[in-house]
C-alpha cells in the first residue's frame, strides 16, 4: 500500500517537473517577444511623435512593430514555417486594423479619444474575428 | 528640423520630421507604450501557443498602441488631431497587409531575412499610398 502510494507520488512529481520544464522552455521566447516587441513599439512611437502632420504620424502608429519582433523570434526559434503561418494570420488581422482605424475616426470624433479608441476595438474584433472564423481551421 | 517633402497646398501643414519633439516625450509615456507593446506581444505568443500560429498571428496586427497614442494626442493637441492620426493609421494598416504578404511569400525561401524585405514593402506601400492620397486631396 505504502509502496504504491510512493510510486504514485513519484510519478506525479516527475510529471510536474516535465510540465515545469516545458513551460520554462516556452517562457523564454514569450519573454523575448515581449521585450523586443515593447522596444520596437517605443522606437516606432518616437518616430510617430516626431512626424508632422498628424496624418503622417498616424502611419507609424500602425507600423509592424510587434510583427517584426514576433516573426523574427518565431522564425529563429521555431522555424520559417511557423512564422509563415503567423504571417498568414497577420494578413487577416491587418484587415481588422483597417476597420479599427476607419471606425476610430468616427468614434473618436463623437466620444473622447479614450472611449472612442476602445469602442473601435469592436471593428477589429468583428473583421479579424470574422475572417479568422471563415479562413482558419 | 529635417523636411521629407512638402506639398504646395495652402492651409496644409508640410510633411516632415521634427527631432526636437522627441525630447518632449516623457519617460512615463515611453513606459506606457513599452508596457502596451510588451503585453500585446506576450498575448500574441500565448494565443499562438494555445490556439496555433494562425490565430496567434491575428494579434500581430492588433491596434496595440493606437488607444494610448490617440488619448495622448487628444490631451496635448485636441480631438481633431487625434482623428487625423487615425486617418493615417488606415494607410499604415494597408501597409501591414503588404508586410504580411511579403513575409508569407519570402519566409519559406529566405528565413528571417524576409522580414527586412517585408519592412521595405510596408515603407514603400505606406509612403506611396500616403503621398498619393495627399496629392489627390484625400488626406490632410
- Domain check: are A68 and A7 in the same one? yes
Segment B30-73, tens digit of pLDDT: 998 899 899 999 999 999 988 999 999 999 999 978 888 888 88
The domain in which residue A56 lies consists of 1-78
Buried b (16+ CB within 10 A) or exposed e, A8-35: eeeeeeeeeeeeeeeeeeeeebbebbbb
Q: What is the pLDDT of residue B2?
A: 38
B55 contact residues in A (CB cutoff 8 A): 89, 132, 136
Q: What is this structure's pTM?
A: 0.86
Contact A117, B74 (CB under 8 A): no
- Domain check: are A72 and A94 in the same one? no
Alpha helices in B6-78 (DSSP H): 20-23, 27-51, 53-58, 66-77
- Domain check: are A24 and A84 in the same one? no
Contact state of A66 with B41 under an 8 Å Cβ cutoff: yes
Q: What percent of chain A has pLDDT over 90?
A: 72
Closest CA to A74 of B111, B61, B58, B109: B111
Segment A43-94, tens digit of pLDDT: 999 999 899 899 999 999 999 999 999 999 999 999 999 999 999 999 999 9
The Cα of B38 is separated from the nearest Cα of chain A by a number of Å equal to 4
- Domain check: are A6 and A64 in the same one? yes
Residue A18 clears pLDDT 70, i.e. is over it: no
Buried b (16+ CB within 10 A) or exposed e, A71-93: bbbbbeeeebebbbbbbbbbbbb
Contact state of A89 with B55 under an 8 Å Cβ cutoff: yes
Contact state of B42 with A33 under an 8 Å Cβ cutoff: yes
Residues 6+ apart with CB under 8 A from A34: B38, B39, B41, B42, B45
- Domain check: are A28 and A71 in the same one? yes
ipTM, interface predicted TM-score of the complex: 0.87
- Domain check: are A59 and A104 in the same one? no
Residue A34 clears pLDDT 60, i.e. is over it: yes
Please provide the average confidence, as pLDDT, over all residues in chain A.
Answer: 89
B99 contact residues in A (CB cutoff 8 A): 64, 67, 90, 94
A44 contact residues in B (CB cutoff 8 A): 65
Which residue in the set B64, B86, B140 is minimally distant from A66, CB to CB? Answer: B64
Mean of pLDDT values over B2-13: 46
- Domain check: are A8 and A46 in the same one? yes
Residues 6+ apart with CB under 8 A from A25: none
Contact state of B41 with A136 under an 8 Å Cβ cutoff: no
Residues 6+ apart with CB under 8 A from A78: A29
- Domain check: are A48 and A58 in the same one? yes
Contact state of B41 with A69 under an 8 Å Cβ cutoff: yes
- Domain check: are A107 and A127 in the same one? yes
Amino acid at each position: 500500500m505504502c509502496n504504491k502510494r510512493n510510486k504514485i507520488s513519484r510519478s506525479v512529481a516527475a510529471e510536474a517537473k516535465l510540465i515545469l520544464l516545458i513551460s520554462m522552455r516556452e517562457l523564454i521566447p514569450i519573454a523575448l517577444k515581449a521585450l523586443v516587441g515593447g522596444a520596437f513599439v517605443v522606437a516606432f512611437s518616437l518616430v510617430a511623435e516626431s512626424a508632422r502632420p498628424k496624418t503622417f504620424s498616424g502611419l507609424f502608429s500602425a507600423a509592424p512593430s510587434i510583427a517584426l519582433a514576433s516573426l523574427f523570434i518565431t522564425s529563429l526559434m521555431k522555424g520559417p514555417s511557423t512564422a509563415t503561418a503567423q504571417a498568414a494570420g497577420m494578413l487577416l488581422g491587418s484587415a481588422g486594423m483597417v476597420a479599427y482605424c476607419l471606425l476610430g475616426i468616427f468614434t473618436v470624433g463623437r466620444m473622447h479619444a479614450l472611449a472612442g479608441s476602445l469602442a473601435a476595438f469592436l471593428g477589429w474584433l468583428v473583421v479579424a474575428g470574422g475572417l479568422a472564423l471563415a479562413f482558419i481551421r | 528640423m529635417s523636411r521629407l517633402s512638402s506639398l504646395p497646398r495652402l492651409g496644409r501643414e508640410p510633411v516632415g520630421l521634427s527631432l526636437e519633439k522627441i525630447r518632449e516625450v516623457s519617460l512615463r509615456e515611453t513606459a506606457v507604450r513599452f508596457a502596451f507593446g510588451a503585453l500585446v506581444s506576450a498575448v500574441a505568443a500565448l494565443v499562438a501557443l494555445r490556439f496555433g500560429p494562425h490565430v496567434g498571428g491575428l494579434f500581430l496586427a492588433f491596434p496595440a498602441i493606437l488607444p494610448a497614442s490617440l488619448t495622448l494626442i487628444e490631451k496635448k493637441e485636441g480631438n481633431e488631431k487625434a482623428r487625423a492620426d487615425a486617418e493615417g493609421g488606415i494607410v499604415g494598416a494597408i501597409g501591414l497587409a503588404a508586410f504580411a504578404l511579403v513575409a508569407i511569400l519570402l519566409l519559406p525561401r529566405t528565413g528571417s531575412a524576409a522580414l527586412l524585405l517585408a519592412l521595405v514593402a510596408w515603407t514603400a506601400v505606406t509612403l506611396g499610398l500616403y503621398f498619393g492620397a495627399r496629392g489627390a486631396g484625400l488626406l490632410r
